[in-house]
Structure 1
Amino acid sequence: MTDESKAEDLFFEADNLIDDNKIKEAKEVLLDLLNEYPDYGRAHNHLGWLYSVKFNNHTKAKEHLELALKFSPDYQGVYANYAYLLLEMNKYDELINFGKKYADKGVADAGTIYNKMAQAFELKGEYLEAHKYYKLAVKGAINNQFMEELYASINRLKSKMNIFQKLSLINKI
């Protein structure tokens, strides 16, 4: 068995454990995998996701997701996971810069990245920029439920705007 094949087998074992909600076991398999293959980016992604979503350890999550970006820059899932994490950590400017760097590169789900950027702008109180990125997210969306969420976000955003901000949207049409 080649090293690559062994690493993939361990990765898929961890992935299946996650699917079966055996989180602790999956974490151990991923840590074992990374101990032997420290540059296996997809394992860093999954471990980063676990640390973020299941263990609420944002510091470790960020570390692993950044390693996933470094070692597996073509692995699409890591971009969304990292954007979600940055928003959850209130790292709005970092998220916006990240999104500007990767959203249009073709490796990330642009709709998701733009949506997270829009949320960051909204939380910063920069409503016109948020509106711009929600609209970009709509252009990249193909899922009906996601589209509904985006339109709901746009309507929520408009309710936060003052009259001059709303008028500036009309003037852009």
Structure 2
Amino acid sequence: MDTYYTIEEKYLQAVDEINYGENPKGLKLLNEIINNDPLHARAHYQLGKIFYYEIKDYQAAGYHFKTCAELEPSFPDVYHHYLHLIVFLNMDKKVNEVAAKALTIAGVSAASIHNLLGLYAEKNKNWAVAINEYQSAFIEVIDKKHQEDIETSIERVKQKMQHNSSYRYYLAD
């Protein structure tokens, strides 16, 4: 039986378990941490990731991401995943609120945030906003692979704009 002397040691062990694919063990450790210290923001962050990506419990994931962002607002890692979740869930007011906050936090990838905002606008067929957000992401990106992904997104939206405009019919008097 492992003995952990501090909550931080238990947290690091939980992260190791998750990284090695042992989500049940990691989940157990993270829940123990939250039971002992409900204000442990990073444990909430890790739980949010597990609930979102592995368990697909979006309500629980949202709760943990939101709690993490409230407890430790300067923790940059939470914002991408939290925004990804609320874009996926199409939560209009929350998307703008979280994105605005994320763009003020040091260490948050502005390219990633703008890319998610572009995706959100694209999902809602707001082509002009989508192009603007993807272009903002392109300006901020520093990774070649992500740059190519953003260029692909811009081209995809442009094709959708052309396709959409070619099927518009107007009644003439």
- Whether these two folds match at TM > 0.5 is yes
2:122 maps to what in 1?
Answer: 122
1:100 maps to what in 2?
Answer: 100
- What are the ranges of 5 or more consecutive residues in structure 2 without an aligned counterpart? 166-173
The number of residue pairs the alignment matches comes to 161
CA contact (8 A) 2:127 2:161 kept: yes
1:25-52 Cα deviation digits (max 9, x unpaired):
1011000001111111111000001000
After superposition, where does 1:1-173 map in structure 2 within 5 Å?
A: 6-162=6-162
- What are the ranges of 5 or more consecutive residues in structure 1 without an aligned counterpart? 166-173
CA contact (8 A) 2:76 2:105 kept: no
2:171 maps to what in 1?
Answer: none
CA contact (8 A) 2:76 2:102 kept: no
Measure, in 2, the Cα distance between the counterparts of 1:14 and 1:40.
13
1:101-134 Cα deviation digits (max 9, x unpaired):
3224434221111110110011111110111111
- Displacement of 1:164 in angstroms is 10
- Displacement of 1:92 in angstroms is 4.0
Measure, in 2, the Cα distance between the counterparts of 1:104 and 1:144.
24
Q: Which amino acid aligns with 1:30?
A: L
Q: Which amino acid aligns with 2:146?
A: F
Q: Which amino acid aligns with 2:154?
A: I
Larger Cα Rg: Structure 1 or Structure 2?
2
TM-score, normalised with respect to structure 2:
0.87
Query: How large is the Cα RMSD of the aligned pairs?
Result: 1.8
- Displacement of 1:87 in angstroms is 1.7
Measure, in 2, the Cα distance between the counterparts of 1:27 and 1:87.
25
CA contact (8 A) 1:92 1:124 kept: no
- Displacement of 1:7 in angstroms is 1.8
TM-score, normalised with respect to structure 1:
0.87
Moved over 3 A (4+): 162-165
Percent identity between matched residues is 22
SS in 2 for 1:161: helix
Measure, in 2, the Cα distance between the counterparts of 1:97 and 1:70.
13
